């Protein structure tokens, strides 16, 4: 059984160590397995697992894998209320096309109080991401034993040693990264072979897509994430934690 043992030790450190050990064992077991195998192991043997998806440029790959394994997989989609209209339309279309039956749309509860005029992103992008993404996701993940991400080693230096399984720092949750070892051409090949729909903004020069105010087009030769928070020392929203804190990893230098 791969099910997490919630009764291993009574202290938080003992529980965290148990999850770390489980991640090590899973990585050893699935070292030479496919992304689909890793996804299936997470969804069928690691407890209650959610797939967190932005329905962005490459999201359809994991969504398709999940649909093949279990169309009732909980899919958490964070609507920051600042997304491109194209993303919202794409989310609805992909959900229907893949037959996903458990897509949960997550929104922040306190936007009206903390950002009544919708200008927080102009003053403090970190605070805006915390308000509209990090806190709503943290609330939504309560009750789950882990979650699936689309992170890949090639995306930034901070992800260069990413494994399939890891403990989410500061929590007892397992993070599962089925595409950790994929290259950009693997993503494109999977989409082509399965005839999956592309996000419409990709063809318009947006290879990485976030909120509309903080995403710009990328020129030929630029890093695919260059259009995210352009001209700021930031290229992560903070959803992925480091050392248990919501710090901005992978910041541009």
| From 129, 211, 214, 237, the catalytic residue | 237
β-sheet bridge partners, residue 228:
215
User: Strand 146-148's sheet: what is its strand order?
Assistant: 103-106, 75-78, 49-52, 146-148, 174-176, 165-167
Q: What is the CA radius of gyration of the chain?
A: 18
159 vs 25: CA distance, rounded Å: 20
Distance (Å, rounded) from C-alpha 166 to C-alpha 151?
12
Inter-helix orientation angle 35-45/59-69, to 10°:
60
Q: Contact at 8 Å (CB) between 48 and 143?
A: yes
214 catalytic residue (yes or no): no
* Residue corresponding to tokens 């991401």: 129
Q: How far apart are CA 57 and CA 86, in angstroms?
A: 11
Residues 6+ apart with CB under 8 A from 196: 60, 61, 64, 190
Catalytic residue positions, numbered: 237
């Amino acid at each position: 059984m791969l099910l997490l043992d919630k009764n291993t030790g009574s202290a938080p450190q003992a529980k965290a160590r148990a999850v770390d050990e489980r991640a090590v064992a899973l990585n050893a077991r699935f070292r030479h397995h496919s992304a689909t195998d890793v996804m299936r192991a997470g969804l069928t043997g690691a407890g209650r697992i959610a797939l967190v998806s932005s329905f962005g440029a490459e999201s359809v790959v994991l969504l398709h894998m999940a649909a093949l394994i279990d169309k009732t997989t909980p899919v958490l989609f964070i609507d920051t209320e600042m997304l491109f209209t194209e993303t919202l339309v794409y989310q609805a279309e992909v959900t229907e096309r893949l037959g996903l039956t458990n897509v949960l749309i997550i929104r922040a509860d306190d936007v009206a109080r903390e950002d009544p005029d919708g200008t927080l992103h102009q003053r403090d992008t970190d605070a805006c991401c915390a308000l509209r993404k990090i806190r709503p996701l943290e609330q939504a993940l309560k009750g789950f034993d882990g979650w699936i991400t689309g992170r890949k080693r090639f995306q930034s230096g901070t992800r260069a040693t990413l494994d399939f399984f890891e403990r989410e720092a500061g929590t007892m949750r397992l993070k599962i990264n089925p595409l950790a070892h994929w290259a950009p051409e693997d993503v494109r090949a999977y989409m082509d072979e399965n005839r999956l729909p592309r996000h419409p903004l990709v063809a318009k020069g947006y290879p990485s897509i976030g909120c509309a105010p903080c995403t710009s087009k990328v020129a030929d030769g630029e890093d695919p994430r260059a259009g995210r928070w352009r001209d700021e020392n930031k290229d992560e929203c903070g959803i992925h934690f480091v050392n248990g804190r919501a710090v901005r990893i992978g910041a541009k230098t």
